[in-house]
Copies of this chain bind each other. A is one copy, B any other.
Amino acid sequence: MADLMNNDVFLAFSTYATIVVLKMMFMSPLTGYFRITRKAFSNWEDTAMGKKNPEDRKKMLQTNPDVERVRRCHQNDLENIIPFVVIGLLYAFTGPDLSTALLHFRVFVGSRFIHTVSYVLALPQPSRGLSWVVGMITTFSMAYRVLTTALLL
């Protein structure tokens, strides 16, 4: 283990992977915030806050555009950040230069923060689309190094 914590690329990966996963986790309380302020829930047992009669509670079992938007953003995080974490970990083990690795990690994490802001605020395209593409290309670039360095089929 000790050697991993002495490896700068692994330390950098730890740092950026943790930051971007925390960002992804932040989507959960954000969804909760929109569910409560928009009174839009999926589960009957979630509508019991305050003393509500059944009719009022039934109305809270609805979908809301703001809630759905945050949920799509969260889903997009799952679809993109998890591949980054998996391929980034394997990439760190291929022994890249620290500066090259940092470039990959910083560009990816930056692109995902831009993606989240673009999505949640519904900024005009192509802000969201471009940030998504930049993140994909960064992950592909790391995957290319993994497959050319560590191939055993």
The residues of B that contact A79 with a CB separation of less than 8 Å are 24-25, 27-28, 74, 78
CB distance from A116 to the nearest CB of B (A): 14
Q: Which of A39-71 contact B (CB under 8 A)?
A: 42-46, 48, 68-69
Q: Which of A80-108 contact B (CB under 8 A)?
A: 80, 82-83, 85-87, 90, 92-95
Give the oligomeric copy count.
Answer: 3
Q: Which residue of the partner chain B has the closest CB to A44?
A: B122
Q: Which of A127-145 contact B (CB under 8 A)?
A: 128, 132, 136, 139-140, 143
What secondary structure prevails in chain A residues at the interface with B? helix
A25 to B11, CA, bound (A): 26
Known pairs A3-B1, A79-B28, A124-B45; A15 contacts B143 (CB<8 A)? no
Known pairs A1-B93, A28-B136, A78-B78; A11 contacts B45 (CB<8 A)? no
The residues of B that contact A25 with a CB separation of less than 8 Å are 79-80, 83, 136, 139
* Contact-residue bracket for chain A: 35 or more
CB distance from A23 to the nearest CB of B (A): 10
Spell out A's residues near B (CB within 8 Å). Answer: 1-5, 7-8, 10-12, 14-19, 21-22, 24-25, 27-28, 42-46, 48, 68-69, 72, 74, 78-80, 82-83, 85-87, 90, 92-95, 119, 122-125, 128, 132, 136, 139-140, 143, 146-147, 149-153
